[in-house]
Structure 1
Amino acid sequence: MSTIAPQVVEHVAEVARAARTAARQLALLTRAEKDAALLALADAVDAGADRVVQANEEDLERGRAAGLPENLLDRLTLDADRTRAVADALRQVASLPDPVGEVVRGSTLANGLQIRQVRVPMGVVGMIYEARPNVTVDAAGLGLKSGNAVILRGGSAAGSTNAALVAILRAGLEERGISPDAVTLLSEGGHDAARALMTARGLVDLVIPRGGAGLIQTVVTESTVPVIETGIGNCHVVVDASADPDMAVSIVTNSKTHRTSVCNAAESLLVHRDAAERVLPGVMEQLAAAGVTVHGDEEMRRYAEAAGAAFQPITDEDDDTEFLSLDISARVVADLDAAIAHVQEHTSGHTEAIVTADRAAARRFTAEVDAAAVLVNASTRFTDGGEFGFGAEIGISTQKLHARGPMALPELTTTKWVVEGDGQVR
């Protein structure tokens, strides 16, 4: 790893020190104070919507000129409706219980000592992410509610949008008497700024990456600050032998086509051979109507071509690809054993779904498949903090330590032990 420019290291250190000071203030705020601030920030985002949309148009114009693919342009887009949605997400976070101070467990010992484990803020959380400006507001809101200061390093593709949003948020915090350093954007320093953030051990308590496989792998391998890994989504839908055809068509179509540029979109389809004749004509008809290209095996070819779906012979690489587009890998499998074995070999650990009327098959699938979320008879698109009732999410963790699945307020806290006595000695 090349040396980071010293001036960038010092700048990030200054930002982190200011954030640590702000975090100490946040830790003292009551729930009422934090909720009032979140509602004020939501109103500020609404009031500044025109400014945000204009900044976003600048980013989109640059993105189109640079040849960004449609899926990335979709993630980058923050129009009036989406701006209202991120403001509403702040209001939803305000309505949620405050995790700080929650007693996880506790007891009184035989010697009279009272011990309890309570939730406390992490402190300073760094976010490194790509062209996803909604993450800017989600991270700020969840950070405030959980008592954490956040340092944001967004991708350059969303530079104008992120700058506009953070300016609005910092002004809103200051109006509430809260240090604006609770939310900071690292807008200079290029890749060195991200590297300085993830190596600011002792100043930054946690780093969360959100983006493609390359970004996530870089942060996981190079960071000296603890990392929560948010993985890519090579999500499968398995159609079991007993699946209801109409349900299978609906779930496969929604999982793949509802929004292709997100990590909980389905990228792979596995159909039990005994269900193929009942299910695949309807599935292929809907995928063809949506413009999906099927990367399939020879058994899939017949169904795809009969329905007029675009078809390409599947490759080994397709089995592991997060397409983020109107493409899907598809295979007919011999049985549930083969389906589970395939999922286990190729899963990214994000979301896996099965469509089945067989309760025993559902139990096997949920027990054997190793992923952050396993769904039975439901679209993969439901793996989302908002859909789970968590409010906005900071990301979807695919690791197993500390947090797994959609991460919201509790996942942004750690715990400390508080022990109270009246003179006991050991």
Structure 2
Amino acid sequence: MAEPGACMEAYYNQLKRNTLKDLLEVRRGSGSNKIKRCIKKRTLIFSTLRADIRICLSEMGRQPLSGLEQDAVSVDEENLSLTSENMKALQFLKDHLKQKKDSLLSTLNILKEKVQVLWSRLQVPQEDLEAYLNMPPYPLSASIKKWETELARLDELKKASIKDIILKIREELAMYWDKCFYSAEQRNAFSPYFSDDFTEELLSEHDEELVRLKHQYEKCKDMLDAVNKWESSWEQFLVLEKKATDPNRFSNRGGSLLKEEKERMKLQKLLSKLEEELKSWIGSWEAEQGCPFLFKGRKFMDYVADQWENHKLQKDREKQDYNPKKEDNMPFKTPVKRPALSCSQGTPLNKTRKLTGTSTLASTKTTASTKTPLPTIKTPSKARETPVGTPLQDSNKQTSMFSTHPGTYSEFKEAITKKSSKDSVFNSTVNENL
């Protein structure tokens, strides 16, 4: 089968009858303005097509081969016919050359990608890369030859260090397995990953698997990012849920309880929103791809439902494990508030103990008949409400219970003298000080 360019060339040769000069002579004789406008329009189209064809040939680094190509880049415009058929032939030539140029560009990009991968795996010094990175892309034919030469050189180096290259590819595979949430079973399905026979065939299998994984990740990258967001939000939610049931949470200060509760409610709403979006998203993706979307070896929405169910069961188990009888060992009783005027204030218990001990000691020396009675403690005229004060205030209050109405110093001295004259003396130094 003949090439499209060859067919078009034959077609062009058959149509090549009238030159531009002949056509202009005919048109001048007719004197038609309509024909003049047509000639002007076709001349403009021809100039544009010829410029595009020249650029394509120059970028490809190729010389004109066919007669049509040679006439298209010719400087003499009068040697070309401006018939509608020739305009179609030039347009076809331009499209054909553009397709060839795009094909060469694709080949060049593939070569660059392969070379850059080997540069990374072989750890080629940066200074060795500059000559290729700064190389102009055009003409394409020359660039392709240079990159093909570099690829051949790197292939020879690759054979000498094939084991290191395979190990680096395995690191990339593990990274993409994590990104795609592969289960252990899915990872083990690629058996060459566990082979120790480092050959060209093994390297080729690793390269193919890496390309497949990259393609799969790019197809559902946005959906995988949303799944990853749900997973991280779920972990944060579980942490806050655990804090919400911590018995020591009330000892926190600075408003952290309220802050954590707001954050927990916010995460709960976010999880619900993400689940609804992912449910619709995954359903559309599975219908389009014709295969289930797996998360760690199972359908993602089934995984989400199980996570919520396990969380509910865990909370119910914690409630059942909680034993309220533990608090019976240390009962907490509400302190009874003493009414204001329910009883007269008396000597505190510790004071009574001290006075009782002192009286017992004194009674061994004297009889009850010779014992001077203690002053009567009078009840204050106003009973105070339940006291709330410092220990110093309590001590002052207890001291005031034993005090009588204030008197003169002479009365005080006389009372002490009478007391010290008897056998039961409170203090042996009293007489000496008086």
TM-score by length of 1: 0.20
Q: Between the two structures, name the one with larger relative contact order (CA 8 Å, sep ≥ 6).
A: 1
Structure with the bigger percentage of strand: 1
Could you state the TM-score of these two structures normalised by the residue count of structure 2? 0.19
**Structure with a larger share of its residues in helix:** 2
User: In terms of Rg, which structure is larger?
Assistant: 2
